Amino acid sequence: MSWDFYAWLKEVRCATAREVADRFGLVRKSAYGRLEKLAKRGVLEKRFVGRRAVLFCVKEGVELPPPRRPRRPSVRVRERAEQALGLLAREGCAPSRALSRALGVGHTHVRYVMKLLLSRGRVVEVVVGKTAIWCRDREAAAELVEKLRATVRRLTAGFRYATPSRVLRMVAQDREAYALFSRFVSLRPAVYGQRESFPPQALAFADSILSSLYGDPMRYSPYKNVYTVSQPRQDFGGIVIRGGDVEEVEISLPSDLAEALRRTNAEEVVKQAIELLLSRFT
């Protein structure tokens, strides 16, 4: 990502952290931190405009070395990746905490292993609220999401309005729903501040499913969303499914073309190609 920042900054010469954040889809704090790292490496210089605005400008005569090729995953990482694939082959889908227990490693290492498998098209990631669930393929992911939606749809049948906390209370009283939801989030109430409530991760989990069923909520208070129970949506809006079966193909490119592609924003190239095709057929 730092190379992408630098390649773009070489074109525009100077930019603020907010402009970089908008360009690359980051929060401002994250963009500022990465620009600071480039400034410490001596390839950017900071210029202050007024009291608060900071411009990051490319230094003349200084070049950022091209990114190194990523290292091949270690034998241990590859072994754990195969263990994770074996677990998903049996279970279909599993959250990060289940994989952490099965592999005997921390959450950060599990995330690294699964992101590596995701980049190679070996697994699918389902994001429900703040919970990441890993599935063996898109069919298993779609089946899980539909099962979650069907459970919430069944529990909210006959309701006029539904909230995440109300759904979780119904889940806690339903044996089948509890067995399903407890695989992915903790349903044990705890005291937060001066009130007892379900964990924030569980509330976000239920909120995401409600959003996928009934669309945007009505804001009742800053602490909960109220959904009008109506005809459920057919799509999975509100729940993110990433990845799928990807066929890897190796190709050889001339060094100058490979360097040009490395410096290019792939999204912009795709957009230009789509616009060109549309112009030809419209």
CA 101 to chain centre: 22
For residue 20, the domain's CATH number is 1.10.10.10
The reply to whether 151 and 198 lie within a common domain is: yes
pLDDT score for 3: 65
pLDDT tens by residue, 132-143 = 999 999 999 999
The reply to whether 111 and 193 lie within a common domain is: no
Residue 267 predicted with pLDDT over 80: no
The reply to whether 167 and 153 lie within a common domain is: yes
Q: Is residue 90 part of a domain?
A: yes
The reply to whether 150 and 210 lie within a common domain is: yes
For residue 225, the domain's CATH number is 1.10.10.1490
pLDDT score for 258: 54
Stretch 134-155: mean pLDDT, rounded?
A: 94
Own/partner long-range contacts of 167-176 (Cβ < 8 Å, ≥24 apart): 167/206, 167/209, 167/210, 168/198, 168/202, 168/203, 168/206, 171/206, 176/151
The reply to whether 131 and 182 lie within a common domain is: no
> Mean pLDDT over all residues of the chain?
81
pLDDT band at 249 (very low <50, low <70, confident <90, very high): very low
Q: Which of 96-110, 231-245, 247-261 has the highest mean pLDDT?
A: 96-110
Backbone torsion region of residue 152, taken as left when φ is above 0, otherwise alpha when ψ lies between -120 and 50, otherwise beta = alpha
pLDDT score for 145: 93
| Bigger pLDDT: 258 vs 7 | 7
Give how far Cα 26 sits from Cα of 17, 21, 38, 234, Å.
10, 5, 16, 30
Where does a domain end: 125, 140, 155?
140
* pTM exceeds 0.85: no
pLDDT tens by residue, 162-172 = 999 999 999 99
Where does a domain end: 100, 116, 140?
140
List the domain range (segments joined by +) for residue 104: 75-140
Q: Is residue 64 part of a domain?
A: no
pLDDT score for 278: 63
Residue 196 predicted with pLDDT over 90: no
3-class DSSP string for the chain: CHHHHHHHHHHHCEECHHHHHHHHCCCHHHHHHHHHHHHHCCCEEEEEECCCEEEEEECCCCCCCCCCCCCCCCHHHHHHHHHHHHHHHHHCEEEHHHHHHHHCCCHHHHHHHHHHHHHCCCCEEEEECCEEEEECCHHHHHHHHHHHHHHHHHHCCCCCEECHHHHHHHHHHCHHHHHHHCCCCCCCCEEECCEEECCHHHHHHHHHHHHHHHCCCEEEECCEEEEECCCCCCCCCCCEEEECCCCCCCCCCCHHHHHHHHHCCHHHHHHHHHHHHHHHHC
pLDDT tens by residue, 31-59 = 888 888 888 888 888 888 776 678 888 88
pLDDT score for 205: 93
Number of domains in the chain: 4
pLDDT tens by residue, 57-97 = 888 877 777 666 666 788 888 999 999 999 999 999 999 99
